[in-house]
Amino acid sequence: MVTGSAPTDKGSFTLEDVSVTYGSETAIAGVSMEIAPTAVTALIGPSGCGKSTLLRCLNRMNDELGNARVGGTILLDGIDIYTSDYDPVELRTKVGQVFQKPNPFPMSIYDNVAYGPRTQGIRRRTELDDVVERSLRRSALWGEVKKDLKKHAFELSGGQQQRLCIARALATEPEVVLMDEPASSLDPISTQQIEDTIAELKAHVTIVIVTHNMQQAARISDQTAFMLRESMDHPAFLVEMGETRTMFTNPGDTRTEAYITGRFG
């Protein structure tokens, strides 16, 4: 297991006994894990096992869904992000998110990327230009769009749109980027590009990615967490978590092995 972050490393999560309740239904219970900084952590498991729900705990997007309650403790770099004086809006500038389907705003490429920085009050043109270029370069889209940043984001292909969304998330200089099956709606070539982008990004940011694709998890992640919900009467839980290589070659739990080798899910 990859544990213990060096004090200079930013973007590590510590989860202790985390649970999520919607109304009277408990969706997740008893999840404890360490998410290492500047590495890729994959959350895998069958559909409906609470991966996305857990992901949304990390930037408090569950707050926006109305009746979700989060229990337990979640620390970002040692600080509890669920205390009443911790501002979720502030949190989300440190923890960005890329969604399952590309969801660019209906505006130009430039304005999409500049949205986050502008939200933080950056107005100087040169500063914005810098951020936009840097973010687009990091998401490997710069070469394709640099000539026409005023182009409407909807004119891009699906894969380009998703990389635009990654650039948009990077523009606020987050410590962590959460990705919820970012390539599930894309073709193989675009998926490859997204995976390459992720591999380059992890030098500077922590990435937590939910994926259904075992090969993808094996290719891109450093550590893997396997979640399972055995029946709708019981909440989902963390089966095991470890270094990706170990998990895929020598899983500690028979259920993990069954899932990885494709016997269910």
Partner 1 sequence: MSRIKQARMIQTIAVTVTGAAALFVVSAALFLLAYIAVRGAPAISWEFLTDVPSGQMKEGGILPAIVGTLALTAATAAFSLPIGVAAGIYLSEYAPRGKSTRVIRLAISNMAGVPSIVYGLFGLALFVILLDFGKSILAGALTLACLTLPVIITATEEALRQIPSDLRQASLALGATRWRTIYRIVLPAAAPGIVTGSILGLSRAAGETAPILFTAAVYYKRQMPDSIFSDVMALPYHIYILATQVTGRPDDIIWGTAFVLVGGVTAISVAAAAWRSTQRRKVRW
Partner 2 sequence: MARQSSPISVSFRRTDTMPTPSSSRRRLGRPAKSRAADGVVRSIIRLNGWSAIVILAAIGIFLAYGGMRALSEVGFWTMMSGREWYPTIAEPRFGFVPLLIGSAAVTITALLLSMPVSLAAAVFISEFAGKPLKEVSKSIIEFMAAVPSVVYGLIGIAVVVPWVKETFALDSGLNALTAAIVLAFMIAPTIVSISEDALHAVPNELRQGSLALGNTRWQTTYKVVLPSASSGILAAVMLGMGRAIGETMAVLMLTGNAARIPGSLFESVRTITGTIAAEMGNVVQGGLHQSVLFTLGLVLFALTFFINLVADLVLERQRKRWRR
Q: Name the residues that contact partner 2, by CB under 8 A.
A: 63-67, 79, 84-90, 93, 119-121
- The DSSP letter of residue 152 is B
Asked if 110 contacts 146 with a C-beta cutoff of 8 angstroms, the reply is no
By beta-carbon proximity to partner 1, the closer residue of 5 and 172 is 172
Q: Which of 11, 116, 235, 242 binds partner 1 (CB under 8 A)?
A: 116
Q: Is 237 in the site for partner 1 (CB under 8 A)?
A: no
Taking CB under 8 A as the criterion, which residues in 133-152 touch partner 1? none
| Residue 79 partner contact from partner 2, partner 1, none using kind-dependent CB cut-offs of 5 to 8 Å | partner 2
| Residue 157 partner contact from partner 2, partner 1, none using kind-dependent CB cut-offs of 5 to 8 Å | none
By C-alpha distance, which of 222, 225, 205 is closest to 51? Answer: 225
- The window from 10-18, 29-37, 124-132, 168-176 that contacts partner 1 (CB under 8 A) reads 168-176
Q: Is 64 in the site for partner 1 (CB under 8 A)?
A: yes
By C-alpha distance, which of 202, 28, 198 is closest to 211? Answer: 198
Count CB-CB contacts under 10 A for residue 2: 17
CB of 186 to partner 1, least distance (A): 16
Determine phi and psi for 240, rounding to 5 degrees: -160, 165
Termini Cα distance of the chain: 25
Residue with tokens 């982008």: 197
Q: Is 210 in the site for partner 1 (CB under 8 A)?
A: no
- The Cα 93–Cα 119 span in angstroms is 10
CB of 211 to partner 2, least distance (A): 25
